[in-house]
Amino acid sequence: LDHFLYRDGQLFAEDVSVAEIARAVETPFYLYSHATLVRHFRLFDEALAWGPHMVCYAVKAASNQAILTALAAEGAGMDVVSGGEYARAKAAGVPGARIVFSGVGKTRSEIRAALDGGIRQFNVESEPEMQVISEVATSMGVVAPIAVRVNPDVDAKTHAKIATGKSENKFGIPIARAREVYAEAAALPGLKVVGIDVHIGSQLTQLEPFEMAYRKVAELTEVLRAEGHAIERLDLGGGLGIPYARSNEAPPLPTDYGAMVQRTVGHLGVEVEIEPGRLIAGNAGILVSRVIYVKNGEGRDFLILDAAMNDLIRPAMYDAYHDIVPVAEAEPGIEQVAYDVVGPVCETGDTFAKGRVMPPLAAGDLVAFRSAGAYGAVMSSEYNTRPLVPEIMAKNDQFAVIRARPSFDDMINRDTVPEWL
């Protein structure tokens, strides 16, 4: 459920008319609903309320400071994967004790910054990384809390580019080697083992792969405890999917997920951490765009929008489906037409949808891409020197620009022309 609804024939974000925002800031732009964001965080928090837990929002999904600040105010923890994301989380007021650091390639300077500013735990992805974290911590005279990310070799049944839990993926250490690696961690002077970490992929639409992975982690917890390791927390990763097309069967809800977590690891007396990104931010954001032209091609009509693949890359990159709806609600019963929905970038890949059946539109009309809040703005670029798409947040009857569109001068002046040219 989200707070983007039609009212008197116009799409609203909470109590603000989307068309009104479009008049004020020009298209294209991302628009987030504060209430939706917070609601989704609370759904997870409540779904795990049966025991000690921490919901660590995956910052990578949508990392605007206003979004992080809104979630921090709810008491969210954060899952970060770079020094930049760590700095963002801290700047949003999240204490280090609520930040977990994931990712396969943490550098020494990132590790040092996190140890300096405070960290809940590093999710370690390899033995070389484990040794480096120990070295850096020892050199600073501190001990780094760690969980080892295990790769449970389960099929997440999602898009290959976002599946991470199969043995052929680059993530984690094979679960079969976990005992060896934990023994090594316990022997390193700069580390303190606090738990186990697992994340098998993103946009999972069934609970079974999670359940298989979590059962393996539960077994491993008992094995490692028997060997003397203090497994106090389990970081179960993110990955719960969202319904992108309203016609599809909806993925399980956070409540179902929370009950499954209780079923699989609830008996262990551990603190549960989860790292949802998409489910918190995805349906909390839309991308608003204007039709530039309707072009009648051979056997097909193109809807040429002012948003492009550089603003929302998911369709080009993952063949992702996003609902595209008119901002002015179509008259009931109007005959629908099929469009190839494209952007102005000079690549055939700049196609959002082919043969998409929707109400007829004309140049100047506004459309909204739904479920664009996660992995939307964060994956945008300035390809074709198109200004980085701005971000807006609505809360009740107010809205604010939370990242302004750069001017052409801003973009040009970021470059430096050497004087010897």
- Which part of the chain contacts ligand LLP (CB under 6 A), choosing from 199-207, 216-224, 359-367, 384-392? 199-207
- CA–CA dist 195, 225 (Å, integer): 10
Q: How far is the CB of 318 from ligand LLP (least distance, A)?
A: 6
Tally of CA atoms within 13 A in the half-sphere of 373 that contains its CB: 29
> Which of 43, 54, 61, 68 lies at the binding interface for ligand LLP (CB under 6 A)?
61
Which is nearer to ligand LLP, 58 or 303 (by Cβ)? 58
- Which part of the chain contacts ligand LLP (CB under 6 A), choosing from 28-36, 136-144, 251-259, 272-280? 272-280
- CA–CA dist 348, 345 (Å, integer): 8
> Which of 278, 322, 386, 395 lies at the binding interface for ligand LLP (CB under 6 A)?
278
> Which of 145, 165, 172, 238 lies at the binding interface for ligand LLP (CB under 6 A)?
238
Containing 226, the helix (H) or strand (E) segment is: helix 208-226
Q: How far is the CB of 141 from ligand LLP (least distance, A)?
A: 29
Containing 42, the helix (H) or strand (E) segment is: helix 34-47
- CA–CA dist 283, 203 (Å, integer): 13
Q: Kindly state the tokens that stand for 241.
A: 């999917």
Q: How far is the CB of 221 from ligand LLP (least distance, A)?
A: 19
| Residue-level length of the chain | 421
Q: Is 370 among the residues that bind ligand LLP (CB under 6 A)?
A: no
Residue list for the binding site for substrate: 278, 314, 318, 347, 375
Q: Cα–Cα distances in Å, from 101 out to 18, 39, 244?
A: 36, 25, 29
Is 63 within 8 Å of 79 (Cβ atoms)? no
Is 403 within 8 Å of 69 (Cβ atoms)? no
Which is nearer to ligand LLP, 160 or 412 (by Cβ)? 160
Q: How far is the CB of 342 from ligand LLP (least distance, A)?
A: 20
Which is nearer to ligand LLP, 37 or 366 (by Cβ)? 37
Is 55 within 8 Å of 71 (Cβ atoms)? no
- Which part of the chain contacts ligand LLP (CB under 6 A), choosing from 4-12, 19-27, 196-204, 336-344? 196-204
Residue list for the binding site: 239, 275-278, 314, 318, 347, 375
Q: Is 276 among the residues that bind ligand LLP (CB under 6 A)?
A: yes
Which is nearer to ligand LLP, 272 or 291 (by Cβ)? 272
Q: Kindly state the tokens that stand for 407.
A: 């001017």
Q: Is 113 among the residues that bind ligand LLP (CB under 6 A)?
A: no
The answer to whether residue 56 is catalytic is no
Which is nearer to ligand LLP, 11 or 279 (by Cβ)? 279
Q: Is 79 among the residues that bind ligand LLP (CB under 6 A)?
A: yes
Residues linked to residue 413 through DSSP beta bridges, in sequence order: none
Containing 342, the helix (H) or strand (E) segment is: strand 337-342
Q: Is 375 among the residues that bind ligand LLP (CB under 6 A)?
A: yes
- Total binding residues toward ligand LLP, as defined by CB under 6 A: 20
Q: Is 237 among the residues that bind ligand LLP (CB under 6 A)?
A: yes
Contacts of 203 (CB under 8 A, 6+ apart): 158, 159, 162, 239, 241, 242, 278
Which is nearer to ligand LLP, 148 or 291 (by Cβ)? 148
The one-letter code for the residue type at 239 is G
Q: Is 120 among the residues that bind ligand LLP (CB under 6 A)?
A: no
Q: How far is the CB of 162 from ligand LLP (least distance, A)?
A: 5
Tally of CA atoms within 13 A in the half-sphere of 142 that contains its CB: 17
- Which part of the chain contacts ligand LLP (CB under 6 A), choosing from 108-116, 127-135, 260-268, 276-284? 276-284
3-state secondary structure of 82: coil
Is 92 within 8 Å of 105 (Cβ atoms)? no
Among residues 346, 357, 362, 421, the one annotated as catalytic is 346
What is the distance in angstroms between the CA of the first residue and the CA of the last residue of the chain? 56
Residue list for the binding site for pyridoxal 5'-phosphate: 239, 275-278, 375
- CA–CA dist 225, 227 (Å, integer): 5
- CA–CA dist 28, 390 (Å, integer): 8
Q: Is 154 among the residues that bind ligand LLP (CB under 6 A)?
A: no
Is 366 within 8 Å of 289 (Cβ atoms)? yes
Q: Is 162 among the residues that bind ligand LLP (CB under 6 A)?
A: yes
- Which part of the chain contacts ligand LLP (CB under 6 A), choosing from 132-140, 250-258, 273-281, 364-372? 273-281
Specify the residue for token string 């001990």: 143
- CA–CA dist 295, 297 (Å, integer): 6
Which is nearer to ligand LLP, 62 or 304 (by Cβ)? 62
Which residues lie near ligand LLP (CB under 6 A)?
58, 61, 79, 102, 162, 199, 202-203, 237-239, 275-279, 314, 318, 374-375
Kindly list the catalytic residues: 346
